[in-house]
């Protein structure tokens, strides 16, 4: 069952949080000259046209990237610069997906491993990434691929796990993948995105992480308002295992501002916490 297409959701408030954490994490990793590997288990199409029929159906980007500007958030210069690199004119019409943000940031000696299962999105991803020896793209199960790729040769890696959670068992699968990955490669940075639709599912994930014995886990959430049983996804979050030094301080300063712009009506919602100590 692969009915989820990210083209309907690109640039929404969940993408904004996910991609800001992604860009900040890669930037921190690049402060050291040594190469690193970027492993993206659920890559999507890589680039999205916000003027397409898919994007226009729900216009979710209007509640995400559409609410932010360089002027309000000069500290997000790097994020806005990368988005700008994807435009063909001065208007923001295209929004990059996680593999494109990473591709634009990779140095010559860094590598990327991308997986996308949906045949159409795999095709788009391959076209959008172009042919380069630095980037390996495969159409297979991303979590299986992750097992095969770890530990990377470079011994430095960022793993992004960003499923659609179409199947409820994915909540367990993503936790198992990180627990397994951490056993094989304990120093990797693992970033996991999750939607807050039913808070109980996230509470359960929290508890699994807390009980896992894995140290140093941070969590960042951003949304349109507080949890609600009636509204669908009100916020989304990222767990980051082995976060780079300074990521917390960066997000702690950013999230209250982002929440101010992303919030609906008078509501503002964000969370920034160290879930498990170092
Ligand atoms: N990470 C992307 C980004 O930030 O631009 C968005 C990814 S989207 C939320 C999830 C993607 O995972 C979809 O394109 C879907 O087709 C793909 N997918 C679903 N199951 C998968 C699996 N088992 N392995 C790899 N990709 C899968």
Ligand 1 pocket test, pick from 116, 121, 123, 148 with the greatest ligand atom count within 8 Å of Cβ, gives 116
Domains, the chain, with CATH or none: 6-276 (3.40.50.150)
Phi, psi of 38 (to 5 degrees): -110, 120
Catalytic residue among 162, 206, 211, 266: 162
- List 158's β-bridge partners, or say none: 38, 189
Confirm or reject: Cβ of 115 under 6 Å from ligand 1. yes
10-residue mean pLDDT profile of the chain (278 residues): values are 91 98 97 97 98 96 97 97 91 92 98 97 97 95 98 97 95 98 98 96 98 98 92 94 96 98 95 97
Identify the residue whose C-alpha is closest to ligand 1 atom 17: 42
Q: Which residues are annotated as a binding site for S-adenosyl-L-methionine?
A: 19, 42, 98, 116, 141-142, 162
Mark whether 176 is an active-site residue.
no
Question: Are 28 and 74 a contacting pair, CB within 8 Å?
Answer: no
Separation of 273 CA from ligand 1 center, angstroms?
A: 26
Whole-model pTM: value is 0.98
Q: Which helix (H) or strand (E) holds 181?
A: helix 170-184
Q: What pLDDT score does 278 carry?
A: 94
Q: What pLDDT score does 180 carry?
A: 98
């Amino acid at each position: 069952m692969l009915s989820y297409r990210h083209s309907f959701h690109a640039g929404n408030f969940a993408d904004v949080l996910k991609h800001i954490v992604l860009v900040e994490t890669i930037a921190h990793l690049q402060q050291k000259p040594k190469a690193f590997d970027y492993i993206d288990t659920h890559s999507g199409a890589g680039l999205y046209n916000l003027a397409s029929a898919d994007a226009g159906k729900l216009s979710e980007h209007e509640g995400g990237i559409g609410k932010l500007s360089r002027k309000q958030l000069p500290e997000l210069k790097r994020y806005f610069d990368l988005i700008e690199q994807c435009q063909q004119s001065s208007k923001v019409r295209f929004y990059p997906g996680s593999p494109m943000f990473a591709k634009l940031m990779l140095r010559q000696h860094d590598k990327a491993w991308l997986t996308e299962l949906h045949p159409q999105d795999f095709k788009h991803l391959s076209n959008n990434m172009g042919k380069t020896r630095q980037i390996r793209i495969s159409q297979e199960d991303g979590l299986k691929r992750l097992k095969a790729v770890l530990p990377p040769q470079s011994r430095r890696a960022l793993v992004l796990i960003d499923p659609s959670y179409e199947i409820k068992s994915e909540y367990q699968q993503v936790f198992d993948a990180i627990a397994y990955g951490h056993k094989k490669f304990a120093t990797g940075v693992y970033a996991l995105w999750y939607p807050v639709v039913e808070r109980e599912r996230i509470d359960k994930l929290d508890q699994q992480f807390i009980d896992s014995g894995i140290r140093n886990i941070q969590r960042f959430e951003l949304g349109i308002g507080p949890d609600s049983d009636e509204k669908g996804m009100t916020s989304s979050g990222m767990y980051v295992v082995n976060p780079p030094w300074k990521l917390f301080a960066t997000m702690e300063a950013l999230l209250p501002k982002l929440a101010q712009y992303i919030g609906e009506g008078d509501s503002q919602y964000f969370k920034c916490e160290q879930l498990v100590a170092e």
